A = this chain, B = another copy of it.
Amino acid sequence: MKDPVYKLIELTGTSTTSVEDAVDKAIKRAHKTVKNLSWFQVIETRGNISKGTVHHWQVTIKVGFGVED
């Protein structure tokens, strides 16, 4: 069996509703160009505020995927 090598990229997903939705959106977008996304890790959770309510949740994640030989 081979020893796999993975690449990690960093993305910020945004959502007006939740942390989970922001992460989902980042992963869905990355999946358009990289099919074998394998895991993610939340790096930072921020957001902007408009009129005293959260406008966009901004969640930065690292996403790992195997690089083919």
Contact = CB atoms under 8 A, between A and B. Distances in A.
B7 A27 contact: no
Contact of A39 (B23, B42, B47, B63): B47
The majority secondary structure among interface residues of chain A is strand
A51 B51 CA distance: 29
Q: Which of A13, A16, A20 has the most CB of B within 10 A?
A: A20
B27 A54 contact: yes
A57 to B, nearest CB: 7
A53 B27 contact: yes
Closest 7 CB pairs of A and B: A31-B52, A42-B45, A8-B10, A6-B12, A5-B29, A37-B49, A3-B14
